[in-house]
Amino acid sequence: MRRTMTSFVKEVSKHIQSKKAKRKVEAELQFHLQQTTQKWMETGLDEEVAEQKAIKQMGNPVILGRDLNQLHSPGLLVYGRPLFIQIMMSLCVVMVVNIFSLFPGLMMNDVARDMIYGFIAVLTLFLYVFLGKRFLNALTHQVLLKSLAPILIINMSLGIIGYVMMYAGSGVTAENGQLPLMILMALNYGFSSIIDSISFLPEILKIVLLSSVAPLLLYVGSRSRRKTVEW
């Protein structure tokens, strides 16, 4: 399938996060391709063949786009994106639960309440995968892992600190241990009720599982249906 110079440039630039860098890269690529095409035409090739050779010399646009994105990375805006997604997701889930709480008759019914929490959990799972695919798909594997690490570290730290304070401490220390655990549950509100209902799991394993769900789902979403193009 014949690719044009414009389509190649657009394919490369869509993997670049910074809007300012995207415009700059598009202009530079367009200029470089035009220059290379002209050189091939000077060897006797017609314009169409020369353009295709110039495009082929540039390599895979997906890999090139991700490499250029690394050079023009917006820094904390990229690395903080997964944590921002988790915080916003938690706030949204809390809002949904509060809306349902306006109907006490519904929430007092055990079956209805379990169905509501189950629906919220499934919807949260789906949204994490979707948001990972939508906002993290263009990140390279290395950048993705670095950006997901803060979520896992924060979650695990809150869980372990709270667990140690509650079960190894006494008095006020044990009571204060509830705070980091409550923050952990708030950050993972969509999953906490489901994981907490798994009675056969030790508390420490529940903490590990709860801490890992969000980054794992974002990772799965970001790697799903990655677009690969052969040139």
SS3 content of the chain, % helix, strand, coil (to 5): 80, 0, 20
DSSP string, 131-180: HHHHHHTTS-HHHHHHHHHHHHHHHHHHHHHHHHHHHH--THHHHHTHHH
C-beta separation of 63 from 229 below 8 A: no
More confident residue, 170 or 134: 134
Confidence of residue 228 (pLDDT cuts 50, 70, 90): very low
CB 121 within 8 A of CB 192: no
* DSSP H or E run through 179: helix 178-187
Q: For residues 58 and 75, what is the distance between their CA atoms, to the nearest angstrom?
A: 26
pLDDT of 200 higher than 50: yes
Residue, of 213 and 101, whose pLDDT is higher: 213
* pLDDT for position 38: 92
Supply the mean pLDDT for the chain: 85
Rounded CA-CA distance 9/30 in Å is: 7
**pLDDT at site 155:** 93
Segment 121-141, tens digit of pLDDT:
899 999 999 999 988 887 767
Average pLDDT over residues 159-184: 86
Q: What tokens were used for 221?
A: 């979403």
Q: Assign 227 a pLDDT band (cuts: 50, 70, 90).
A: very low
| 207 confidence band (pLDDT: 50, 70, 90) | very high
How much is the pTM?
A: 0.67
pLDDT higher than threshold 50 for residue 145: yes
Average pLDDT of 152-157?
A: 94
Q: Would you state the pLDDT for residue 226?
A: 52
pLDDT category, 230, cuts 50, 70, 90? very low
* pLDDT single digits (tens) 71-103: 666 566 678 889 999 999 999 988 988 898 888
Contacts 24+ apart (CB under 8 A), 39-48: 48/2
Q: Under a CB-based contact definition with an 8 Å cutoff, are residues 218 and 132 in contact?
A: yes
- Per-residue pLDDT of 24-75, as tens digits, reads 888 889 899 999 999 999 998 888 899 988 898 888 888 888 878 776 665 6
